[in-house]
Structure 1
């Protein structure tokens, strides 16, 4: 029994539609640029404190990074 090209095409199209609705849309995130904080002093222990200092420097967010636990301010590139 030979499957027709139309039947194979219909099955393939149905499969593609099903998988695209199950997987959902692809979320693309913007790149983030990091700059070491100029005002933060000492080792970075609190992420919230780092973020607050970065906001005073004009950045939207900040994180503690690295072995020496420095405060780095984040901004979209």
Structure 2
């Protein structure tokens, strides 16, 4: 009985792997918006706090911002249209 359970469980795991790798099941397509970036025109100095950069970018009409690069510039981001 133990050998039957071992063979059955091995077969079941192999079947699950086959189904997962074959892509059988619901096909879900996810669309991601592209992100546009632009250097902030109002941020002054080195970008040290990303939360401050994001706040300044929101006053410029962007959805957020991040610090980038060797010189730590504030780069504003928004979803492209």
Task: Give the TM-score normalised by the residue count of structure 2.
Answer: 0.64
Question: Structure 1 unaligned runs (5+)?
Answer: 1-10
Distance across 1 between alignment mates of 2:24 and 2:44: 49
Q: For residues 24 and 76 of structure 2, what CA distance do their matches in structure 1 show?
A: 37
Structure 2 equivalent of residue 47 of structure 1: 50
Paired residues in the alignment total 62
Residues 20/59 of structure 1: CA separation in 2 closer, same or farther (3 Å cut): farther
Q: For structure 2, which runs of at least 5 residues remain unmatched after alignment?
A: 1-14
RMSD of aligned residue pairs (Cα, Å): 2.5
TM alignment of 1:52-67, pairs within 5 A = 52-67=55-70
CA shift in 2, pair 1:20/1:75, >3 Å: farther
Give the C-alpha shift of residue 19 in structure 1: 4.5
